[in-house]
Each structure stands twice: as structure tokens, then as C-alpha cells.
Amino acid sequence: MTPIHYLYLINAGVFCIVGAGLLLVWQRHRSQTFARDMGLATISSALLPIGYLLHLSLSPRWVPIPTLLALLGAIPSLLFLSSGVLRLAGRRLSPLAAVSIAVSASLALALPAAGNKLFYWPILYLLVLCCMGTLALRWLWPKGGVERWVGPLLILLGLNQLFLIVYAEQGLAVNIFWATLIRSAIGAVFALAALEGAIRESARLAVRFQQMTEHTVQGVVVTDGARILYANPAVRNLYGVPLGQGAYAAFGDMPTGSFCDQTMQRQHRLLQSGVSTIANWENRCAVAGGRQLELRFEAWRVDWDGLPATQILITDDTERNASARALLHQASHDELTGLPNRSVLMRQLRQYCYLADGSMHCTLVVLNIDRFKLFNQSQGDLAGDQVLQAFVAALQQALGERGELMRLGGDEFAIIDPSGGAVREIADRLRSVCVQALKVPEGEYFIDASMGVAVFPDHADSADALLRAANAAMYQAKRTPGTSLAMAEQRFVQMSRDSLATEQALRKGIRNHEIYLDYQPKVDAVTGQLRGFEALARWRRPEVGQVSPVEFIAIAERTGLIVELGAALLEQACRQIAQWRATLGTCVPVAVNVSPVQLLNPGFPQLVQQVLASTGIPAECLTLEITESAAIDNLEDTTRQLAMLEELGIKVAMDDFGTGFSSLSMLRQLPLSIVKIDRGLIEPLPAPDAVAVVRAICQLAAALDLEVVAEGIETLEQAITARDAGCHVFQGYFYAKPLGVAEAGVWMQRLVAETATEDTESAELN
């Protein structure tokens, strides 16, 4: 072994050590890939001196081995070196450049024509290194830092090849000496650059972590299971505990239910033992100031300064949960009374019906306030709301623990008694509320209610059927005036099914103009001459036949369809009047019935005026018949509406007088022209007490200057007594039933003819 052999060995050894060092640096800081490339470049460079050593020591027949080693060392060495330098400058070696370097290196080493290997190879090596060095100088020098020395060192390493180019074999020793030194320096620079890069990287990550955690509203805690290693400001705000004095504050300060309770300890153990990778749990926690927090925790394993730790993310769900609960409450409760609504009722009923075994009963009461719509219209919505609230309070007090109260909507309530106790007891309690006056700021009111009771499983076998049965019973109770209660019966359900079908058919009927008018004549009590007609609504329901107006008008009133229907009928009557007037040259007043809902509609007088104008008939051709119920429920509004109609010149009749609530004083207060005595008072005529009543009404009417019409005259006897008692006009089957337009027209023609004869007679007499 000559000294040059040792030099080769030292060179190879140093390259291997420097290369391995760089690879180790890269292994710790994986993001610093340039260290890896330079490490590989340095290690592969070690193959060159080893190859040369073998070349010197082996016999010539082993020549391919050193050549192969030189090729294996030289090409990767150049490629990795270029790639490492470029990566350090934040760039990548393009595939084209890589191929060019590899091909040139192979040519320089392997071409037989290349001859002297200590000439062409060093030239190529010098060119590549000086090129890379110049580029590195341009890219890295301005950046400062240790990397700036890479450029000059590479150029130096390149220039070192001149010893070989110029002195060939004689320059080898000097070349190897300097190459070892410079390569070691380059390795050191790369290693330092990698460490600096890693430090910068972790500083950046630390800043990012801080930015993320210090400013987030979510709490972030890092713990090793026994101590708090880190807690962001949000945690301190959340718990109101001065956690800030040190990262190692004791857990003892924390409120129970916070992140440091037993649940966390368990989750920490599970995460650290690898049983789970992420943990989620929730907790309620009372914090400083007595606030109750609802917290959600999410935790996972982290390395904290090289220690195994658990990072916990704490989210305060208190507000979110509260608004979710509020939304749920809103969806399931009535706003005005705070009572559970229909959806809750159905849910509960289903539950009770599902749970109930054979021995269990569940009572359902459906309660509907009578005429509440009218109450609202007359007293205003505010008073209506107050009354509802007072009514609910009274119901709740009366029910106590017996039964759960719910509001189905508007003026309808439901009471469930899952104990299925005596129906009578619950009914008595509910009735007691309707007996007492409800005191509200606007005044004192009495309320009537209709109640339907159904018991599971006696009346129905499912929740829906139970509600249907109670509803049907409630509608049955509505037929009885005042507060009343009805027990469910199968036939009620059928009846309400029918009434629903009728309602649907009526809607269609109104749209298709199926409702028309018949006209019943009214005659003079003394002369028997035609004095007018009453227009009476008729509906021939397809496939069913004639439906009584008593039935369909009631449905129209209940559903609000009456406003539309009433307006259509008023127009129909007025068009008929106009037509008679046009063909016969005269007309008698036609009375049109007006429902209370219709009358109390603020736009009603304008509607009448509009119809008169559009049909072109004078106001005296139209009479309106109203019933007492409108006036009873709301005297003030009725008076105002009637006054407006009077101003238009329209006569108004009080219909069905003598039934129900009839009050004589009301006749005095309202601006009326006609009073119609109800059929119920005419029928018993000539019984003396009936005569006395009719006479009294007629006397009062005379005092008030009202015309009296007797309805339902069926016999001559009734007619005579009624006339003697003081009635002015008769209407009844004795004279005519309600007639079709054509027949009514005949009556009109007869009147025209009679008037004409009378006129000639009186002319002759004169």
C-alpha cells in the first residue's frame, strides 16, 4: 500500500461518514429533502475512490469491476448532487437535465474513444460543478445564512479537477486531499442548512398552532393526564378560572364536569394506550358566576415536546343547544298560551295507545269555545287573546293533576287523561270553568264551550281514531246551546265524515255556481197583493240531490265560505231584480238573507253599494234580512253597519223574531224597517197565548214604526188571526212555496196586471 492508497481509503471513509450524517439529519427532519439528496450524492461519490483503488490493485482481467463501480458512483453522485443543490434553492431537477447529466457522465466514463479517464471525466465534473456552483451562488447567496457558501464551495470543488486535467496522475493526491476537505465542508453546510430549516419549520408550526389556538373560541388543552401542559385563553374564559398563571396549574382548581374530570382521565388512558384514536364526550359544568355550561369534548393523542400527551378541543354548545331546544319548543308549543300543540297531542296519544294494555284506559276531551270567531270579530283580537289566556289558566287550575291540556289551534283545546279515570269528574272540572266569569283587563266575559269525550279503547282503537271520535262528539255537543258535553258514538264519526264530504262538495259547488235562488212571495195581509219576495238559497248537490239551506249555510258559516257565497247570492238576486224591472217595467222588494259573519264584515255596506251600482237597480228594490245573533254578539258594530245600509236607502228586516234571545229593546236600538215574526210563533195561532205574544210584538213594532211580516202562514185561520193581531205582510205555504224564477215572474206579471186594472178603475171612478 502506497500513501496514495491510504489517501483513497480516507477519502472514501470521509465521504461515507459525511453522507451518512446527512442522511441521519434528513431522517429526523423529513421535510429537509436536500439533505437526503446530498447525503446520497456523497455516499455514491465514495464509490469512485474505491473503484480507483481496485483498478490499481486488481489484475487487468478484472478491469470491468472498477469501471462498473466508477459508473455506479459517478452518475448517481452527479444527479443527487444537482438535485440536492436545486432542492436547497427550492427548485427541482428537471427530467431533461437529469437525463443530459446521466448521458454525458456515461459517455465521459465509458466511451473507449475517451481514452484517458483522468481527462474527460474531470472536465465533465468541472463543468457540472461550476454550473451548479454558479446557479447556487445566484440563488442562495442573496438569501444569506449558511447556505450561501454552497455556491463558492461547489465552484471550488469543480476547480479542484484542474489538478487532474493539468497534471493527470501527478495531480491525484492534491485533488483527493482537497476533494475530501471541500466535500466535508459542503456536507457540513448542508447539515447546518437542514437543521436551520427544521428550526424555522417548527417555529412556523408553533406560530401557526398558537395563532390557531390563541384566537379560537374553542378551548384547547394539552395534558399529560396529570398536568395541564397547555391551555389557550378560550379555556380560561370558558371556566372563568385563572388558568393563566402557569401551564402546569393544578387540576384541583377546575370545576367538576370540566376537561379534567374522570371521563377525561379514562379517555386519556384509552388514547395513550392506542385503544382509540379519537375520543368524543359531552358534559355539563357549573362555572364561576353560577353559569351552567354544556360542553362538547374532542380529544386525540399528540406529542408535546417529545412527551406523549392528549390534546382536547372544548366546544361550548350551551347557546347552540339552547336555541335548538327553543326551536323544538316553538315547533311543539303554542306561542300564545305556551301549551303543547297538536303534534305533541298526537305523539302522546300514540304513545298512550301503544303502551296501553287491555286494562288501561285513556280519556281524550276535545273542547271548542262557542262562537269565539264572533267574539274576536266584535271585541278585537287583543281581547280574544286575553280571554284565551285567562281561559287556559282557569282550565289548568281546574284540572290540576287530572289531565294534560293542549291547544289544537284557534279556539280548540284537548285534554288527555292517561289515567282513564271517571269521565264525569273531568267533565265537571271543565264545566266549572265555563260557569265562572273570566276577568281580563278588557272586561269580564263568560265563555261557552262544546266538549266531545272519547275513551281509548272503548271508542277507538288508535290515536287518530280517538281524536276523530272526540271531535265528532264535540260537533254533536255544538248542537246544544250553551256549554255542553257529548260522549263519542260511532254514528257521530260517520256524521262528521259526511259533513266533511259536504263541505268539500260545497266548496266545489260554489265555484261551479251550483247554488241558485228560489223566490217566496210575501203578500199584503189585507189586500192579498204581492208585496215582495224572499230569496232563498237552493243547492242541488250532484249525485245527492237537494240539500237543505239550513245544512249548507251552517257549513258555509263555519268554514267562512259564507262571505263568498253570500256575495254571489246577493249579486244573483240583484241581477234577477234588474231583469224583472227591464221586462215588466216594475219591481217589488226582494229580501236577501245575510249571515252575521257577512254582516259584520267591515266591507259589507260597500259590497251592497257596488252590487246595486253594477246591476243598476234602485235601493228600494232590495231588502236585507238579518238575524239577531249578529246583534247580540256585537250590538255596536251591527248598529254601525245597519246605519250605513240605511244611508244607502236599503230596508233591513229582523228575521226569526221571537226565537232564542229575542230582545224587544234591541228592536229599539237598531235602525230597522221590518220585523219578521218567526214561524214558531205563528204556528200555534189561533191559540190565545200565541195571539197575545204576536199582538204585543205588533204593538211594539207600531210604536217603533216597523212593518211586521208573519212567516210560515200555512192556514187561512192563521192568516186571519195574524192580520187581526196587527201583522202587515204574510209569507207562507198558504200563499206560495218558494218558487223558481219563472213562476215568481208570473206573480210579478199578475201584480202588474192588477195594478193596471186598479189604475183604470180608479181613473174611471174619478
Sign of the torsion angle spanned by Cα atoms 670, 676, 680, 684:
positive
- What are the residues binding ligand C2E (CB under 6 A)? 520, 536-537, 548-550, 553, 569, 593-595, 625, 655-656, 679, 712-714, 731-733, 738
Question: Closest separation between CB of residue 698 and ligand C2E, Å?
Answer: 19
- Please identify, using beta-carbon distances, which residue of 417 and 711 lies nearer to Ca ion: 711
Residues numbered 570-599 forming contacts with Ca ion, rule: CB under 5 A: 593
Question: Closest separation between CB of residue 439 and ligand C2E, Å?
Answer: 35
Bond preceding residue 457 cis, omega within 30 of 0: yes
User: Are 301 and 308 within 8 A, CB to CB?
Assistant: yes
- Please name the helix (run of DSSP H) or strand (run of DSSP E) that holds residue 693, with its range, or none: helix 688-703
- Please identify, using beta-carbon distances, which residue of 384 and 738 lies nearer to Ca ion: 738
User: CB under 8 Å, gap of 24 or more: what pairs does 383-391 form?
Assistant: 383/440, 383/442, 383/443, 383/445, 385/336, 386/440, 386/441, 386/442, 387/438, 387/440, 387/445, 387/447, 388/336, 388/337, 389/336, 389/337, 389/440, 390/438, 390/439, 390/440, 391/433, 391/438, 391/447
Question: Closest separation between CB of residue 735 and ligand C2E, Å?
Answer: 8
Q: How far is CA 196 from CA 140, 151, 202, 203, 378, in A?
A: 14, 18, 10, 10, 87
Q: Give phi and psi for 240, each to the nearest 5.
A: 65, 25
Q: Which partner from the list Ca ion, ligand C2E, none does 342 bind, CB cut-off 5 to 8 Å by kind?
A: none
Q: Which partner from the list ligand C2E, Ca ion, none does 548 bind, CB cut-off 5 to 8 Å by kind?
A: ligand C2E
Q: Which partner from the list ligand C2E, Ca ion, none does 712 bind, CB cut-off 5 to 8 Å by kind?
A: ligand C2E
Q: Which of 625, 638, 658, 697 binds Ca ion (CB under 5 A)?
A: 625
Residue 338: closest CA among 399, 388, 398, 401: 388
Q: Does 656 sit near Ca ion (CB under 5 A)? A: yes
Question: Closest separation between CB of residue 451 and ligand C2E, Å?
Answer: 27
Q: Does 411 sit near Ca ion (CB under 5 A)? A: no
- 427/435 Cα distance (integer angstroms): 13
Q: Which partner from the list ligand C2E, Ca ion, none does 253 bind, CB cut-off 5 to 8 Å by kind?
A: none
Residue 14: closest CA among 176, 184, 182, 175: 184
- Please identify, using beta-carbon distances, which residue of 526 and 550 lies nearer to ligand C2E: 550
Question: Closest separation between CB of residue 536 and Ca ion, Å?
Answer: 7
Q: Does 628 sit near Ca ion (CB under 5 A)? A: no
Q: Which of 34, 655, 667, 697 binds Ca ion (CB under 5 A)?
A: 655
Question: Closest separation between CB of residue 380 and Ca ion, Å?
Answer: 30
Q: To the nearest 10°, report the CA torsion of 171, 176, 178, 184.
A: 170
Number of residues near Ca ion (by CB under 5 A): 5
User: Are 43 and 20 within 8 A, CB to CB?
Assistant: yes
Q: How far is CA 14 from CA 130, 332, 416, 683, 693, in A?
A: 23, 81, 94, 134, 136
Question: Closest separation between CB of residue 564 and ligand C2E, Å?
Answer: 12
Q: Does 518 sit near Ca ion (CB under 5 A)? A: no
Question: Closest separation between CB of residue 400 and ligand C2E, Å?
Answer: 43
Question: Closest separation between CB of residue 626 and Ca ion, Å?
Answer: 9
Bridge partners of 454, per DSSP, are: 364
Question: Closest separation between CB of residue 510 and ligand C2E, Å?
Answer: 12
Q: Which partner from the list Ca ion, ligand C2E, none does 310 bind, CB cut-off 5 to 8 Å by kind?
A: none
- Please identify, using beta-carbon distances, which residue of 147 and 557 lies nearer to ligand C2E: 557
Q: Which partner from the list Ca ion, ligand C2E, none does 62 bind, CB cut-off 5 to 8 Å by kind?
A: none
Near Ca ion by CB under 5 A, which window of 98-106, 230-238, 321-329, 618-626? 618-626
Question: Closest separation between CB of residue 342 and ligand C2E, Å?
Answer: 31
- Determine the residue type at 291: R
- Sequence-distant (≥ 6) Cβ neighbours of residue 404 within 8 angstroms: 340, 348, 415, 416, 417, 418
- Please identify, using beta-carbon distances, which residue of 593 and 629 lies nearer to Ca ion: 593
Q: Which partner from the list ligand C2E, Ca ion, none does 196 bind, CB cut-off 5 to 8 Å by kind?
A: none
User: Are 84 and 41 within 8 A, CB to CB?
Assistant: yes
Residues numbered 662-721 forming contacts with Ca ion, rule: CB under 5 A: 711
Where does residue 37 rank: exposed (0-12), middle (13-18), buried (19+ CB within 10 A)?
buried
- Please name the helix (run of DSSP H) or strand (run of DSSP E) that holds residue 700, with its range, or none: helix 688-703
Strands 707-711 and 729-731: what pairing? parallel
Q: Which partner from the list ligand C2E, Ca ion, none does 569 bind, CB cut-off 5 to 8 Å by kind?
A: ligand C2E
Q: Which partner from the list Ca ion, ligand C2E, none does 550 bind, CB cut-off 5 to 8 Å by kind?
A: ligand C2E
Query: What are the residues binding Ca ion (CB under 5 A)?
Result: 593, 625, 655-656, 711
